């Protein structure tokens, strides 16, 4: 199936960059517009996997000729699902909750193949942050890097200086677990032509 295109079902520039970093530039980017509202009682890990599968399936329904890669990243603090920060107050609330403690970042990756196979993986990374004082929070809010980020932060920028430790995949926290993604693609028979 080397002639089948690879479609990324996400508009995330970080996911595209991570794929390119491992030599897997998508042939097309077709963001899947799905409802990302958590279900009642849904855990962060279950949400990440459900959304990844939903994105891959939505685009695969439109493009059954292609390999379709869907992914979603969710920040969890216990069973609590942190939102994507769309405003400063949400970002501040997330940072206050995460400050000085450990949380988990879950990414679901799902692949739909031209043969109709549906494959998926879940990656979990534990992240520990230093205690953030008001000055650190305000500096980060002023940067604007939090905008649209799950949990109100992006690890790949200014916020990296607040990360005490990471147990697991760093690219997962950025937005795509590349090891799991590469293995899914290879296991499904995808090859760059």
Average pLDDT over residues 110-124: 97
DSSP string across 127-144: EEEPPP-HHHHHHHHHH-
Indicate whether this model's pTM tops 0.85.
yes
pLDDT tens column, 161-171: 999 999 999 99
Is 192 inside a domain boundary? no
Distance of alpha carbon 52 from alpha carbon 59, whole angstroms: 11
Query: 127 in a domain, yes or no?
Result: yes
Q: How many domains does the chain have?
A: 1
Whether the Cβ atoms of residue 124 and residue 168 lie closer than 8 Å to each other: yes
The pLDDT-based confidence of 2 (bands split at 50, 70, 90) is low
> What's the pLDDT at 192?
78
pLDDT at 54: 98
The tokens describing 41, both together, are: 């009682």
- Name the one residue in this structure whose structure tokens are 């080397």: 2
> What whole-number distance in Å separates Cα of residue 63 and Cα of residue 58?
9
Give the pLDDT confidence of 42-73 residue by residue, as tens digits.
999 999 999 999 999 999 999 999 999 999 99
Residue 193 within any structural domain of the chain: no
User: Cα 15 to chain center, whole Å?
Assistant: 8
Beta strand 6-8 with 28-29 is parallel
Q: Where residue 32 sits, what CATH number does that domain have?
A: 3.90.950.10
Structural domain for 28, as ranges: 6-187
Collapsing DSSP states into helix, strand and coil, what is residue 106? strand
Q: Please check whether residue 47 lies inside any domain of the structure.
A: yes
Q: Which two tokens stand for residue 175?
A: 């937005």
Kindly report the average pLDDT of the chain as a whole number: 95
Both tokens assigned to 181: 């993604």
Task: State mean pLDDT over 7-23.
Answer: 95
Return d(Cα 30, Cα 55) in angstroms, integer.
Answer: 10
Give the pLDDT confidence score for residue 193 in this predicted structure.
64
- Which residue in 65, 72, 133, 134 is the catalytic one? 72
| 133 tagged catalytic | no
Q: What phi and psi, each to the nearest 5 degrees, are found at residue 127?
A: -125, 130
């Amino acid at each position: 199936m080397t002639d089948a295109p690879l479609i990324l079902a996400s508009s995330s520039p970080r996911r595209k960059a991570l794929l390119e970093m491992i030599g897997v530039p998508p042939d097309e980017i077709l963001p899947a517009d799905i409802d990302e509202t958590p279900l009642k009682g849904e855990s962060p890990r279950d949400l990440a996997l459900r959304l990844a599968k939903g994105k891959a399936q939505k685009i695969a329904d439109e493009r059954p000729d292609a390999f379709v890669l869907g992914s979603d990243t969710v920040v969890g603090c216990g069973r609590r699902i942190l939102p994507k920060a769309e405003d400063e107050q949400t970002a501040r609330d997330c940072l206050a909750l995460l400050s000085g403690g450990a949380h988990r970042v879950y990414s679901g990756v799902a692949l739909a193949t031209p043969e109709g196979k549906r494959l998926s993986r879940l990656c979990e990374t534990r992240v520990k942050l230093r205690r953030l004082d008001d000055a650190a929070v305000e500096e980060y809010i002023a940067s604007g890097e939090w905008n649209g980020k799950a949990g109100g932060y992006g690890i790949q920028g200014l916020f990296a200086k607040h990360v005490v430790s990471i147990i697991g995949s760093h690219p997962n926290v950025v937005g795509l677990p590349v090891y799991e993604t590469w293995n899914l693609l290879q296991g499904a028979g995808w090859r760059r032509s």
